[in-house]
Structure 1
Amino acid sequence: MRWRPICRRKTRRRTSPPRGKAQTTSPHWQDGLLLPEADAVRRAAEILNGASRVAILAGRGALGARAELEQAAQLLGAPVAKALLGKAVLPDDHPYTTGGIGYYGTFGTHAAMAQCDALLIVGSTFPYVEYYPKPGQARIVQIDRDPQRIGLRQPVEAGLVGDARAALEMLNAQLRRKQDRSFLEMAQAETRRWYATIRAAEVSERQPMNPSVPVAALGARLPPDAVLVADSGHHTGLVARHIRLQPGHDFGVSGLLASMACAIPYAVAAGCAFPGRPIFGVIGDGGLAMQLGEFSTAVAMGLPLKLLVLRNGTLGQIKWEQLLFLGNPDFGVAVPGIDFARAAEAMGARGYTIERPEQVGPVLDAALAAPGPAIIQAIVDPHEPLLPAVVSDAYAEHLRKALAKGATDAPAIWAALGREPARSMMGKHRV
């Protein structure tokens, strides 16, 4: 047999695009419209129409449904409490909102949750169940895109799985306007009392400086298109209470308040997502010490980031959790002193320092007028309490035990508890 070579057909090899070649991706988020079932909407309307004292809890899921949320509140005569992630859902001075809920809540929210007989939850899974209505007190309706979140925190009688805006439109069409506005008016009066109470801290001229002073002053200077981020710590409550967001503002924070040192990465992300918008951040000295190097990213990118750091030499939230939650003296919460203004200058940015209340306005004005990133450090009182709007019997007893056991600078803490707004929060437990 004669040998023959095997002939192979020449084929064209398929090659992938050269490495580094630009690929196409969509810059826009695409999503469909999810609508709740009609029977669930009818059931929800029956519950809310049949109640006499309806409260609303709104979270981040309600951000795109402001007009519909306002209409629901108007129809139901319902005060609107805001979970921290939903702080920008309604302006903080809106007549229907009572402000925050939970540990960072207000007198108005506390009263609304304590007295309501129905609760409408819109786009929120606020996790701290002790701040909801008591078991069996209120009938609950919940709106959420994720069916797994319906009833996650509280037993729900009517769950509307769908887009918050669309679900509220469907629900509002079946709601009857309540003529009795006394429940809303009660919550509004308590909210006004709350802001009058915390005003004492915002204008305090005492030294060492109350941390509310620079936080409130920064809030009053936010431009209309500002993006605000906060870290996790003592200052988070100050931002929640003393910065009044307005229409056009955006806000970012860790949802479960456990991501310490997140403020600068959040701020950098905001600068990338919203080019041209001014970015503001509030952070504690503990968080900034952990993530200080990331500020150099903001410098390298030339972001318009103004970062207010509250220097009190302590991990304030951990300290007050030890005192209030456990009844133990503070332990292991000291933060080494760092001159963050000089650190900012070493990175090529601007650094400012505020040590006295009368410096707050001029220094903030100078920092906000300067181009590029800057750190403004405010030296504040380490003994200023972090308290819920209404201190429970258990918290008061824990606090007494902790101070009696030898908490650091106990006399200074006792003195702070006797000043407003802590005095009003302590209520019957006043020192």
Structure 2
Amino acid sequence: MTRQVSDHVLERLREWGVEQVFGYPGDGINGLIAAFGRADGRPAFIQARHEEMAAFEATGYAKFSGNVGVCTATSGPGAIHLLNGLYDAKLDHVPVVAIVGQTARSAMGGSYQQEVDLQSLFKDVASDYLVEVNVSSQLPNALDRAFRTALARRAPTTVIIPSDLQEEKYEAPEHEFKQVPSSSPGTMSAPRVLPPRSEIERAAEILNAGTRVAILAGQGARGCAAELTRIAELTGAGIAKALLGKDVLSDELPFVTGAIGLLGTRPSYELMRDCDTLLIVGSNFPYAQFLPDFGQARAVQIDIDGTMIGMRYPTEVNLVGDAKATLAEMIPMLASNPNRAWTTDIQENVARWWQTIEHQSMLEAKPVNPMRVAWELSRRLPENAIITSDSGSAANWYARCLRFSGSMRGSLSGTLATMGPAVPYAIGAKFACPDRPVIALVGDGAMQMNGLAELLTVKRYQSRWEDPRLIVCVFHNNDLNQVTWELRAMGGEPKFEDSQTLPDISYAEVARCAGLAAISVDRPDAVGPAWEAALSADGPVLLDVHTDPEVPPIPPHATWEQLKDTAEAVLRGDPGGWHLIIQGAKTKAQEMRPARRG
């Protein structure tokens, strides 16, 4: 049987170790779909309900596996639908390869059906590598470069293959002029990049000179838990975590202050407010107002990407290198800080904060406090759980209320902050780690946007997962809650119900219609038992938790302007009215409660 170009594409994917491709069919990739049919599930074609979901699933897979995620879509509208998920990968520095169909070469330029200028369409999102293959001898080099670039640059890349070429006989590149061969795919060894020793010594001198050291760790510090812990022990530092770095270090460590920024904790805010020295490791955290005042702290930054360094704070020493290797070189140069008053304050603030979160989570609300949903989960999280979160107010509870420990992993759309990735991320995570439980925290706006449809994908593929647990928890408050609070706190505007109120629906009933187990919760005392039932189930479960939209996602330092604007929103006729004022006052008051000893 003559081997077609499409067969070679899948063969090359197998050689790269690809086990599944997330996608949606269409006639622009008919040749590839036929090849999948001949490939006996190697790799498997995983059918999402929408191309955007396929890109999110590939991104989620890449985030939790460390390997390249692969997605595919047809020409025209299918290719366009991939963009949001690919931008999510681009902004969070995740390796994804998109294989996209195109109109037949004979029709190009003729305003043919579904003909879109894909090179222009993808030139930004796939700026690190974008190629259209027009003769079969361009393969396998084009695919290999797409994979190698995605891995090296931690970025999405795109290979465009016209539909007619997919069905042609494959002819390998020859050893002649204007032919480009390629070496066999294989595991790329990551370089051990180290800054000059003299620069590491300069950085160590700055840390040794500090008396109140703060560390900000981002996703680039993943795998550096031992090194960060040792530096904190030597310098007496506290460690705050950027949102994408939530799983970098255990929250059980007494010097870990938790998340930073609008979704962050008060100990992280105070750590940055009062420090005299700052070490930034693998983070591109953009909100300078949550970092020390300019000129307050001497600062050092470590990042593998020199283009992202020294751009958020006036750092004195910038170390371009692998975080783990650079920290390991620095540790012997650090002296033990004899002043432990700073460390004691940090640890007391952290202990008090977790008590505050518990108090806030247990406050009465109508009908269920959303913080309690996350807090009760936190008390029951398996040590190897993977948690995904959507954007919006769900991200607040994910960032603040969950205590990570053990080998827990978690992620969300950190930089693009797009709605809708939690459920497809969870699906990607199950393919990356089929032996681990996965939990998606989703607002009802995101659930209505695309999560409901992906429940069908969960049902379809659940038998492939060794650990069958995939839990989708919906914060059911009939409100686009984050935007509602932004209107109030940043603009002084009342909730505009025409844009903010969501149609009511039973997510539990929809899940049951999709063939999944579901639990509805509308009482605070039922939250814990619902989590226990879901975590002990022998298959996927949806939790439909009716939560109070007026529980405020209060930032760690609410400014006078934010408080004034919220009050103005109430006076202008906010439909939440005094309930939101009372709920906000009760929540804020928990920060004033005396700390519990022990």
1:267 partner letter: A
- What is the alpha-carbon distance in structure 1 between the residues aligned to residue 592 and residue 326 of structure 2? 40
Cα deviation 1:336-384 (Å, max 9, x = unaligned)? 1121111111111111100001211222222222222221010011111
2:486 counterpart residue number? 321
Number of aligned residue pairs: 412
Runs of 4 or more, structure 1, over 6 Å off, are: none
2:286 counterpart residue number? 127
Residue 7 (structure 2) pairs with residue 20 (structure 1): yes
Residue 48 (structure 2) pairs with residue 58 (structure 1): no
- What is the alpha-carbon distance in structure 1 between the residues aligned to residue 205 and residue 242 of structure 2? 25
Residue 473 (structure 2) pairs with residue 308 (structure 1): yes
Residue 418 (structure 2) pairs with residue 282 (structure 1): no
SS in 2 for 1:102: coil
Post-superposition offset of 1:88: 0.9
1:409 counterpart residue number? 576
2:152 counterpart residue number? none
- What is the alpha-carbon distance in structure 2 between the residues aligned to residue 334 and residue 29 of structure 1? 49
Q: Percent identity?
A: 37
Contact 2:254-2:351 within 8 A present in 1 as well: no
Contact 2:356-2:591 within 8 A present in 1 as well: no
More displaced 10-residue stretch of structure 1: 211-220 or 343-352: 211-220
1:220 counterpart residue number? 379
More displaced 10-residue stretch of structure 1: 115-124 or 35-44: 35-44
Cα deviation 1:75-106 (Å, max 9, x = unaligned)? 11000001111111111121120111111222
Contact 1:215-1:242 within 8 A present in 2 as well: yes
1:381 counterpart residue number? 548
- What is the alpha-carbon distance in structure 1 between the residues aligned to residue 295 and residue 390 of structure 2? 35
- What is the alpha-carbon distance in structure 1 between the residues aligned to residue 578 and residue 268 of structure 2? 31
Change (3 A) 1:48 1:419: same
Residue 475 (structure 2) pairs with residue 297 (structure 1): no
1:276 partner letter: D
1:319 partner letter: T
- What is the alpha-carbon distance in structure 1 between the residues aligned to residue 193 and residue 273 of structure 2? 33
Residue 71 (structure 2) pairs with residue 84 (structure 1): no
- What is the alpha-carbon distance in structure 2 between the residues aligned to residue 424 and residue 40 of structure 1? 45
Contact 1:62-1:86 within 8 A present in 2 as well: yes
TM score, norm. by length of structure 1? 0.92
What does 1:227-266 correspond to in 2, within 5 Å?
227-256=386-415, 258-266=417-425
- What is the alpha-carbon distance in structure 2 between the residues aligned to residue 86 and residue 18 of structure 1? 41
Contact 1:72-1:172 within 8 A present in 2 as well: yes
1:136 counterpart residue number? 295
Post-superposition offset of 1:129: 1.2
Contact 2:206-2:298 within 8 A present in 1 as well: yes
1:354 counterpart residue number? 521
Post-superposition offset of 1:29: 5.7
Cα deviation 1:312-352 (Å, max 9, x = unaligned)? 11111111111111221122211111211111111111111
- What is the alpha-carbon distance in structure 2 between the residues aligned to residue 18 and residue 198 of structure 1? 57
Select the residue among 335, 346, 349 that pairs with 2:502: 335
Change (3 A) 1:130 1:414: same
1:423 partner letter: A
Change (3 A) 1:165 1:133: same
Change (3 A) 1:29 1:411: farther
Contact 1:299-1:372 within 8 A present in 2 as well: no
Post-superposition offset of 1:211: 0.8
2:432 counterpart residue number? 273
1:45 counterpart residue number? 204
2:247 partner letter: A
SS in 2 for 1:91: coil
Residue 318 (structure 2) pairs with residue 159 (structure 1): yes
1:7 counterpart residue number? none
- What is the alpha-carbon distance in structure 2 between the residues aligned to residue 150 and residue 372 of structure 1? 44
Post-superposition offset of 1:426: 9.9
- What is the alpha-carbon distance in structure 1 between the residues aligned to residue 562 and residue 212 of structure 2? 29
Contact 1:110-1:390 within 8 A present in 2 as well: yes
- What is the alpha-carbon distance in structure 2 between the residues aligned to residue 209 and residue 152 of structure 1? 42
SS in 1 for 2:494: coil
- What is the alpha-carbon distance in structure 1 between the residues aligned to residue 558 and residue 320 of structure 2? 36
2:589 counterpart residue number? 423
Contact 1:325-1:398 within 8 A present in 2 as well: yes
Post-superposition offset of 1:54: 0.7
Post-superposition offset of 1:298: 1.3
1:35 partner letter: L
Post-superposition offset of 1:112: 0.9
Residue 307 (structure 2) pairs with residue 148 (structure 1): yes
2:190 counterpart residue number? 31
SS in 2 for 1:103: coil
2:494 partner letter: P
Post-superposition offset of 1:201: 2.5
Change (3 A) 1:360 1:138: same
Residue 365 (structure 2) pairs with residue 189 (structure 1): no
1:412 partner letter: H
2:16 partner letter: S
Contact 1:215-1:243 within 8 A present in 2 as well: yes
1:321 partner letter: E
Change (3 A) 1:403 1:18: closer
Select the residue among 170, 173, 187 that pairs with 2:332: 173
Provide structure 1 residue ranges, at least 5 long, that are not aligned to the other structure: 1-14
Contact 2:254-2:350 within 8 A present in 1 as well: no
- What is the alpha-carbon distance in structure 2 between the residues aligned to residue 143 and residue 62 of structure 1? 9
Contact 1:390-1:426 within 8 A present in 2 as well: no
Post-superposition offset of 1:224: 1.6
- What is the alpha-carbon distance in structure 1 between the residues aligned to residue 483 and residue 394 of structure 2? 12
- What is the alpha-carbon distance in structure 1 between the residues aligned to residue 193 and residue 393 of structure 2? 38
Provide structure 2 residue ranges, at least 5 long, that are not aligned to the other structure: 18-186, 594-598
Post-superposition offset of 1:239: 1.3
Change (3 A) 1:29 1:99: farther
2:115 counterpart residue number? none
- What is the alpha-carbon distance in structure 2 between the residues aligned to residue 409 and residue 48 of structure 1? 49
SS in 2 for 1:80: strand
More displaced 10-residue stretch of structure 1: 22-31 or 168-177: 22-31
2:337 partner letter: K
- What is the alpha-carbon distance in structure 2 between the residues aligned to residue 182 and residue 56 of structure 1? 17
